[in-house]
Amino acid sequence: MQTLTILGSTGSIGISTLDVVARHRDRFQIFALAGHTQVDKLAEQCAIHHPQFAVVADATRAAQLRELLKQQGTPTEVLHGAQALIDVASAAEVDGVMCAIVGAAGLPSALAAAQSGKTIYLANKETLVVSGSLFMETARQHGAKVLPIDSEHNAIFQVLPEQFSGSLNHHGISSIILTASGGSFLNTDLADLPNITPTQAIKHPNWSMGHKISVDSSTMMNKGLELIEAHWLFHCPPEQLEVVIHPQSIIHSMVRYADGSVLAQMGLPDMRTPIAYCLGLPERIDSGVGALDFSKIAALTFQEPDFARYPCLKLAYDAMYAGGSAPCVLNAANEVAVAAFLRGQIRFTDIARVVEHSLAKHVSGSLNSIDDLLALDKQIRVQAEQFAGSLKN
């Protein structure tokens, strides 16, 4: 029996995780669920999964949740605030932590899970973008296992040699190929991109996801963040990472070997597959995802990404090559820009402008403590907000 904490349980990944968990009551029990502001949803989840603790953002929401739980007769104890996320991620009773909070807000709790030697189911890619070196080193020192939930990294994880030691060359691997859908605006006229609305940008053609990652997919910043994520997860030098657009999202990523073989992982675009793969290890367990029906797939196509359409991808490449603090700056500016776009403050094409402006102003250095990284994150957010404010139309 594995005891789990699910951080971000009310989000897209959290809901998919609980769906898989519910199919295997004999394997998993829930210690804590964390849902930030969605009190009703969290109360519902508590009634079904009986966690010992539920965590929300603040005291007001905690009082609301306590009242709902009382009405339902659910005995879950309610906690609130950032420290509570850390506490439920590192509690001695917990074996595994699903890190599915969106953005750099998920970093302190993911790091706490690493420091406590937990099995980490990592969906929150921003953690690796902001603090890749520190996070992986902390996990190593404390014997925490980091299992990739992100579909591309999960695909790579599935097709790497079983005893992968962290050296690509040692295993005869020439490169790692990340596939990308290209998002909703792959074929939109470049001239129309400035007029893309938030409603259009949060509709992904293949995947059903949270708003932030859906916008990131349409700018391909998501693939940029994933390049940096793959760099840290698989010790992959930047020049051995490839990106290819594959609009059908059937191949979730590939590994290219020295002998000419390319191994791919395929499946329907449903996050329950990577979640079940990691939760079930070393066994394969039911995820609820249907079988891939090849007679219904008309074609699998591939094309190169174009930086004129996806300037955010280029910016992410630049930040990855620059290393040090640049990816932290990239992430903070992007989070601010996406939020400003979703509020209707800036245009779709301004997202890249905000990120570019922040990166151009920043002198990259190496930051080795979480406090330094969080301080930089905060400082960049202030600057990026100001710049986004100046773009307001």
Q: Name the residues that contact Mg ion, by CB under 5 A.
A: 150-152
Q: Where are the alpha helices (DSSP H) in the chain?
A: 12-22, 39-49, 59-72, 82-90, 107-115, 125-141, 151-159, 198-201, 211-219, 221-233, 272-280, 311-322, 326-342, 350-361, 370-391
The alpha carbon dihedral of 359, 352, 217, 392 has a sign of: positive
Paired with 80 in beta bridges are 56
Coil, helix or strand for 180? strand
Q: Which residues of 360-385 are buried (b: 16+ CB within 10 A; e: fewer)?
A: eebeeeebeebebbbebbeebbebbb
Minimum separation from the CB atom of position 245 to ligand NAD (A): 17
Kindly indicate which of the ranges 31-39, 43-51, 181-189, 319-327 contains the residues binding ligand NAD, using the contact rule CB under 6 A.
31-39
> How far is it, in rounded angstroms, from Cα 230 to Cα 225?
9
Minimum separation from the CB atom of position 151 to Mg ion (A): 5
CB 267 within 8 A of CB 290: no
In the list ligand NAD, Mg ion, none, the entry touching 36 (Cβ below 5 to 8 angstroms by class) is ligand NAD
How many CB atoms lie under 10 A from the CB of residue 217? 24
Minimum separation from the CB atom of position 126 to ligand NAD (A): 5
Minimum separation from the CB atom of position 227 to Mg ion (A): 11
Closer residue to ligand NAD, CB minimum distance, 207 or 257: 207
Q: Considering only residues 94, 98, 123, 254, which one is a binding residue for ligand NAD as defined by CB under 6 A? A: 123
Any contact of residue 126 with ligand NAD (CB under 6 A)?
Answer: yes
Specify the amino acid at residue 117: G
In the list Mg ion, ligand NAD, none, the entry touching 207 (Cβ below 5 to 8 angstroms by class) is ligand NAD
Any contact of residue 6 with ligand NAD (CB under 6 A)?
Answer: no
Q: Which residues of 162-182 are buried (b: 16+ CB within 10 A; e: fewer)?
A: eebeeebeeeebebbbbbbbb
Kindly indicate which of the ranges 10-18, 301-309, 329-337, 380-388 contains the residues binding ligand NAD, using the contact rule CB under 6 A.
10-18
Sketch the per residue contact string, 75 through 104, with ligand NAD: x for CB under 6 A, - otherwise.
-------------------------xxx--
Strand 173-180 to strand 251-257: parallel, antiparallel, or no bridges (unpaired)?
A: antiparallel
Closest CA to 330 of 229, 246, 252: 229
Q: Considering only residues 17, 116, 119, 124, which one is a binding residue for ligand NAD as defined by CB under 6 A? A: 124
Sketch the per residue contact string, 190 through 229, with ligand NAD: x for CB under 6 A, - otherwise.
-----------------x-xx-xx----------------
Task: Determine whether the annotation assigns residue 151 to a binding site.
Answer: yes
Sketch the per residue contact string, 308 through 327, with ligand NAD: x for CB under 6 A, - otherwise.
--------------------
Closer residue to ligand NAD, CB minimum distance, 150 or 356: 150
Q: How far is CA 240 from CA 35, 133, 178, 237, in A?
A: 37, 18, 11, 6
Write out the residues near ligand NAD by the rule CB under 6 A. Answer: 8-14, 35-38, 100-102, 105, 123-126, 150, 207, 209-210, 212-213, 271
